[in-house]
Amino acid sequence: MADEEAEEYTFRWKIENISHCWWLRSTEEIVSPSFIADGLDGTKWSLSLYPRGCTDEHSIGFYLNRERDGDRPNAIEVYYKLAFLDKDGLIVKERTSLKSSFKEKDTRGFPKYDDQDTVFVTRRGEYLPEDTLTVQCTLWNREKTPVKQRYIYARTIFRVNRRYVEWKIDKIGTLKSTHIKRYKDNLISFDLIFNEQKIDELKLDGISFDDSLKYISCKALVLDSDGKKENCGFQVYYPNHLTNKNLSFNLKSLKMMMENKSRYLPDDVLSFEFIFSTVQCSSCQKNSFKFECEPCVGIEKSPHMTVLIDDLKSMYNDALFTDTVLRTPTHEFPVHKAILSARSPVFNRMFSTDMMENNNGCVEITDFEDDTVHRMLLYMYTDSLKDLELEGADELYKIAEKYDIPSLKSSCSYFLKENLYQTNACGVLFLADQHNDVDLKIAAQKYIISQSDQFFESQEWEDFMSAHLKLAADVMLKKICPGRIWQ
């Protein structure tokens, strides 16, 4: 960087729902997304916050970290300021460091940056508007006032999710060592295992979870013959436990339950309820440090829309105030009639008329897998379609057609057009024909014709001709007579 120019980097980090960090223990940190300061030799940085204290349990620790950044300078000297901001972006607490030398993986900062009671209690409204803590780091490497100011924005969101799983185990007295049941959703999965060799051993095994989860608690309840719930196990997993990606959880003595069958096993049926509470952490970053402009002017794109989408997604994930259920053969999805009615004319008719689904408080879905229903609901709540894969795109297309969600159908159609291969083109052609999707059908036909030398000799094409002779003939006629318009 030229001597006449000094650059300053301001990294602003919002931590939403920070009160959900109660599960953190002393010396445990929250780490921001990393950012790269191009004008400071391309070095990579992040922030660490210790809400429950680092060296003092009554203070909040706040640090600047230089991360591993490859072939960058071994050491770099910088000045930095760390600040807490209010809802208007004004500083409510700031501390400045003298020039400091940072090597890779070095950390500098303040173990007693601020008092926990001040931030979380006495001045909570000032520090934590809407339960969001906004922190800021300003970083530069010249004594004179920087000429260029560059801004980087990041956000970390903590969410509490709760799952209720009710299971009934029939003919418990005749069970052998076996895997009894499996539960799986978008965040967590586990198996219920019975070991005949150890009559006391009934446990949840193979508990796997999404990487975004930072805390898991599991409570198991057994239902007696009167419908009363009795605690039969409780387990908490903190971040240090979650490094093990395969957890297990032993339940209360099965032997005791077997010896008291009249109470716990009416009709030889054992009934459980499992309650999983999790804290999920997700982060995102606005890579705006290439822009040279004033802070808070057009950098964060549609923040209110982002917050709205996050809130609606949270309502779905947390099953808050739901008033009906979509039920597949293996899972129930608590949902909101208003959301589904707004997104789908089919659901609107169900819930606004005297139909069976409205009266029963349940919509039975027997023709689609759980994952397809979950993806449809996630789209209806958030209007986003992330991580779509070929394996599920056709089913998502079908469910969008069934429940009349045109935007979802259009998105799936576009995805299929952009991902045509020899292995799936025939299936896409049949799908398009079944649903009268002219554009998708033409795209599949054109793809097959463009690859005809290899395609017409493939096993996929031979199987397709056997099953759908007219569709195959249409493609071959278009190949032979490309100028003719076919009906």
pLDDT at 291: 28
Query: According to the per-residue pLDDT averaged within each range, which of 231-245, 302-316, 375-389 is highest?
Result: 375-389
Please check whether residue 248 lies inside any domain of the structure: yes
Query: How many other C-beta atoms are found inside a 10 Å radius of the C-beta of residue 487?
Result: 3
pLDDT at 287: 44
Q: Work out the percent of the chain whose per-residue pLDDT is above 90.
A: 28
Please check whether residue 154 lies inside any domain of the structure: no
Q: What is the mean pLDDT of residues 211-220?
A: 81
pLDDT at 176: 58
Residue 80 and residue 38 in one domain: yes
Least confident of 8-17, 212-221, 246-255, 258-267: 246-255
Residue 290: pLDDT above 70? no
Please check whether residue 291 lies inside any domain of the structure: no
Residue 381 and residue 253 in one domain: no
- Amino acid sitting at position 82: L
Least confident of 182-191, 210-219, 250-259: 250-259
Separation of alpha carbons 359 and 339, rounded Å: 18
Banded model confidence at residue 1, pLDDT cuts 50, 70, 90: very low
Residue 139 and residue 166 in one domain: no
Least confident of 69-73, 196-200, 221-225: 196-200
The boundaries of the domain holding residue 247 are 160-281
Please check whether residue 286 lies inside any domain of the structure: no
Please check whether residue 11 lies inside any domain of the structure: yes
Banded model confidence at residue 303, pLDDT cuts 50, 70, 90: very low
Domain count along the chain: 3
pLDDT at 486: 44
Strand-pair category, 107-115 with 59-66: antiparallel
Residue 21 and residue 126 in one domain: yes
pTM of this prediction? 0.49
Q: Tens of pLDDT along 98-123?
A: 889 999 999 999 999 999 999 988 99
